[in-house]
Amino acid sequence: MVMRYISTRGDSPALTFTEILLGGLAPDGGLYLPETYPQFSAGELEAMRGMNYRELAYAVLSRFADDIPDEDLRVIIDKTYTPEVYCNVRSDESAADITPLHTLEPGLHLLCLSNGPTLAFKDMAMQLLGNLFEYVLERAGQDLNILGATSGDTGSAAEYAMRGKHGIQVFMLSPHNKMSRFQTAQMFSLQDRNIHNIAVNGVFDDCQDIVKAVSNDHAFKAKYKIGAVNSINWGRVAAQVVYYFKGYFAATHDNDQQVSFSVPSGNFGNVCAGHIARMMGLPIKHLIVATNENDVLDEFFKSGVYRPRVSAQTYHTSSPSMDISKASNFERFVADLTGRDGARLRALWTLVDQGGSFDLNDGEEFAKVADYGMLSGSSNHASRMETIRDTWEKYGVMIDTHTADGLKVGLEYFEPGVPMIVLETALPAKFEDAIQEALGRAPERPASMANLEDLPQRYTVMDADVDAVKQFVVSHLND
């Protein structure tokens, strides 16, 4: 039977993988989830232990994307996860691993997810999405206009995945002057005619609110074939499930062992994929949600209270890709906490959308957080700097600021006998100023990116105005 996807709010028709792939929110405002999570038996997990990345990706994704013919899915996966694409590895790592496991000391590992074209983990999912989108659109004879919001890494990953793709235009909103010079140059230097950079006067949440507003205008969305690639896209979450399996098998000798993952978190997409891997049968003990000073998720996992901030209360930090005040993927996790109670989700997010908060201690739901193995902690600029310095001095390994948040919080929960796998979500080259501050030296960068900031840039500055953005999209459709 084909996998069906339902909305967290329980009020949208059940659809297949390719039917939800190109869209964003469900029509009822919720997020799509598979009706049930596929399960791997002990025997299947045993067979997966010997698999390379592409084989693992097929084993996992064929369960989710089961309305794509097997041989087509294999071709898409095989051309996505190649050593040529994930080539930006440290000198002692193998690009053939796609996501190499770098051992800092026995039991403490980095899972290197940032060796793709934009040096951040978002390439892992986005490169797949680019190839899936092209395949599905070609098959249907359609085209698509992607509207997205980014605080840095999503936008560049999306643009590098979609550049030059037939039938696809990308309109990417980013907060003006709030990304690192490197991130800005990476995106704005793209000269592909199907890529449009819009620098919004505001913060990331303003950008995300515009995307949500446009997506909720169903007539506009349908007429102009608007799609999304931000972290609520189900295809991205599904792609991210794969590397939890890869990391698990690399860090363990047999499937009786458990591991914990520490995940630098913002929109809750990455750690949501870890939760799903666990629900599918992967022996994960703890999933550790690591935040920066924007600690709305840490507050929830400690107290049961989800209290999104307003954008004016979002701190601009030295791990900027985690500077969020509402976690857009969090609703998927709360759906599982509430036993997929759509009415309850609608009630909770009505509070959130009115600028309020909710407390899951009111029901029995918060107790389930522990059953799901969730823990959390937060970091700040001083501990980030200290972690980068310690890691460099102790292991000779340079890590970026986001990974440092993950390592700092992961170490707080490090326990003997349980391997701790910290997800490396970006390479230090992306955040030169912070590395310079921490270590007094610049990070190495791939030779191909040596003069990135000197390249001519192409972008449009706009106010945080939904109608103006719509206008821009419409007037650039046939470029």
How far apart are alpha carbons 457 and 185 in whole angstroms? 7
Q: What is the rounded distance in angstroms from the CA atom of residue 381 to the CA atom of residue 319?
A: 8
With CB under 6 A as the contact rule, which of the stretches 76-84, 263-271, 344-352, 409-417 interacts with ligand PLP?
A: 263-271
Find the shortest distance in angstroms from Cβ 166 to ligand PLP.
Answer: 27
Instruction: Find the helix or strand (DSSP H, E) in which 223 lies.
Output: helix 218-223
User: What contacts 449, CB < 8 A, 6 or more positions away?
Assistant: 186, 429
Binder of ligand PLP out of 118, 197, 262, 270 (CB under 6 A): 270
Indicate the residue among 116 and 419 with the shorter CB distance to ligand PLP.
116
Report, as residue numbers or ranges, the catalytic residues: 122
260, β-bridge pairs: 420
**If binding is defined by CB under 6 A, does position 265 make contact with ligand PLP?**
yes
In angstroms, how far is CA 194 from the centroid of its own chain? 23
The enclosing H or E element of 464 equals: none
How far apart are CB 240 and ligand PLP at their closest, in Å?
8
- Among candidate residues 294, 379, 282, the one with its CA nearest the CA of residue 59: 282
Q: Which secondary structure element, helix H or strand E, spans residue 174, and what is its range?
A: strand 168-175
Report the C-alpha gap between 15 and 21 in whole angstroms.
10
DSSP state for residue 324 in the 8-state scheme: -
**Interface region with ligand PLP, contact rule CB under 6 A, candidates 51-59, 165-173, 261-269, 309-317:** 261-269
Grouping H, G, I as helix, E, B as strand and the rest as coil, residue 295 is coil
Q: Could you say which of 231, 233, 379, 387 contacts ligand PLP (CB under 6 A)?
A: 231
With CB under 6 A, what is the number of residues at the site for ligand PLP?
16
Closer CB to ligand PLP, 227 or 269, in the complex: 269
| Cβ 333 to ligand PLP shortest distance, Å | 11
Burial of 463 (0-12, 13-18, 19+ CB in 10 A): exposed
The string of DSSP codes covering 59-96 is HHHHHH-TTS-HHHHHHHHHHHS-TTTT----TTS-GG
Q: What is the closest distance, in whole angstroms, from the C-beta atom of residue 184 to ligand PLP in the complex?
A: 14
**x-or-dash pattern for ligand PLP, window 28-67, by CB under 6 A?**
----------------------------------------
Query: Which 182-211 positions form the footprint of ligand PLP (CB under 6 A)?
Result: none
411 within 8 A of 421, measured Cβ to Cβ:
no
From the list 20-28, 43-51, 160-168, 265-273, the region that binds ligand PLP by CB under 6 A is: 265-273
Q: Which residues, 79 to 138, sit near ligand PLP by CB under 6 A? A: 120, 122
Contacts of ligand PLP in 147-176 (CB under 6 A): 153
We find the least distance from the C-beta atom of residue 268 to ligand PLP, in angstroms, to be: 5
* Residue span 420-449 as binding mask against ligand PLP, x where in contact by CB under 6 A, dash where not: -----xx-----------------------
* Comparison of 235 and 342: residue with beta carbon closer to ligand PLP: 235
Distance CA 17, CA 69 (A): 12
Distance CA 46, CA 154 (A): 34
CA-based torsion, 349, 354, 355, 358: positive or negative = negative
Instruction: Compute the least distance from the CB of residue 472 to ligand PLP, in Å.
Output: 25
Binders of ligand PLP among 383-422, rule CB under 6 A? 402
Instruction: Choose between 134 and 400: whose C-beta lies nearer to ligand PLP.
Output: 400
Residues 116, 175, 264, 308: which binds ligand PLP (CB under 6 A)? 264
Taking the C-alpha atoms of residue 104 and residue 419, their distance in angstroms, rounded to an integer, is: 11
Binding stretches for ligand PLP (CB under 6 A): 120, 122, 153, 231, 264-270, 321-322, 402, 425-426
